[in-house]
Amino acid sequence: MLAIVFGGPSPEHDISILTGLLCERVLRGAGHDVAPLYWTRTGDWVQCPAGSEAKDFLEGAPKAGTKLEVSLGAGFQLPKKGLGAAKPLVLDAALNCCHGGAGENGGLNSVFDQLGIPLTGGPAALAALGMDKLAFGAVLRSSGLPTLPRVALGAENVPFAGPYIVKPRFGGSSIGIEVVEDVDTARALARTSVHLRQGVVLEPFSKGAVDLNMAYSTYPSLRTSLLEKPLAPSKEEGIFSYGQKYLQTDGLVGAARELPAQVPDAVTKEAERLTAAVLEVTGLKGLGRLDFLLVDDVLHVNEVNTIPGSMSLYLWPKEIPAAELLMGAVEEAKRSFNVASPAPFEPGAALRAAGGMAGKLGQIGG
């Protein structure tokens, strides 16, 4: 059985629920046997009834859900009935629909590795790279790919002039983002914003820059979606906000956009080229989305979203089935999964050579 995992301890918890419920309907409608697994804000795991609605989660897990036990040794377990033993929930793989936090930064992938369940959105180290805006930008720059400058707020000198975009270093693409005029204002914001506590990056704010997005699928081979141009409600707004993306009836699917983006063919071709180049230099795989900025007719890679809202299914041409894209990510995770632990180097050699621990203690100060 395939699990669809959503929720988790993240500011994007609610959006993750919507993505999970959407994917459940897509896959169930295509005839797949799926188990919706809700990761609550408090860390519990609940198997939800098929066809649950968003309103069922307003007060936590759906009342008709089944709370699961989970341990690294036994995996997911259905609760005991009477005097009987707990029954395992046998899962062949899991589709990761968690946005932000431990669900997207590789933490959940590490847990599922230990559970022996292939999970999309990984492997863990590359998931962490995708969530770290500073590290991701550094990899692009070191590879010669066009990206706007980006520094940590704690840097002694900011090598570009304001105004600035202030972003959470490890957050999503919308929450906690502000435009400020100077570094002092950015520092004041970092001290007060709950979304900036784990780290802050600064980027130059380019008024008139055009946001463009392209989804990708890497299994069985690289495919790219249509190029999207999100449309903010007001031209005066400098950034495409969380509310504009999600807080409407249809969410991302109903947000104002040009699809395909009304840009020169050369820009679309460049987005396709850069997508392939980014995936090549980073090793990222799966079903994700790259966000670009078109500044003075030059296309820059901005961020990668390895688990995008609605899995970016709305960006693909109608002739490419959504279930095919989702199951491609699942199959890729299964094929690349390795449950075996790395073999130790010369097992026992260092332990035999160590002698007594008293000798080790004698090499250090008290």
**Mind listing the pLDDT tens digit for each residue in 249-294?**
455 566 789 999 999 999 999 999 999 999 999 999 999 999 999 9
The CATH number assigned to the domain holding 228 equals 3.30.470.20
Of 205, 225, 246, which residue sits at a domain end?
205
- Residue 180 neighbours by CB distance under 10 Å: 18
Phi, psi (5° rounding) for residue 108?
-70, -35
- Coil, helix or strand for 65? coil
Name the least confident of 100-114, 162-176, 346-360: 346-360
140 and 254 co-located in one domain? yes
Q: Based on the fold, state whether residues 108 and 167 are members of the same structural domain.
A: no
Asked whether residue 48 is domain-assigned, the answer is: yes
Residue 364: CB atoms within 10 Å? 6
Same domain, 61 and 103: yes
* Residues 153 and 142 placed together within one structural domain of the fold: no
Q: In sequence order, what E strands does 84-156 have?
A: 87-88, 93-96, 151-152
Q: Are residues 129 and 248 in the same domain?
A: yes
CA 57 to CA 79: how far, in whole Å?
Answer: 21
Q: Is the peptide bond before 344 cis (omega within 30 degrees of 0)?
A: no
Q: Does residue 347 belong to any structural domain of this protein?
A: no
Per-residue pLDDT, averaged over 68-72, amounts to 92
CATH of residue 6's domain is 3.40.50.20
Structurally, how many domains does the chain consist of? 3
Residue 92 lies in a domain: yes
Q: Say yes or no: 100 and 50 in one domain.
A: yes
Residue where a domain stops, chosen among 158, 176, 205: 205
More confident: 76 or 83: 76
Q: What is the pLDDT of residues 187-201, one digit of tens each?
A: 999 888 888 888 999
In a domain, 364, yes or no: no
Read off the DSSP letter of residue 199: -
Residue 159 within any structural domain of the chain: yes
Residue 361 in any domain: the answer is no
Residue 198 lies in a domain: yes
Q: What is the pTM of this model?
A: 0.89
Range of the domain at 25: 2-119
8 domain-assigned:
yes
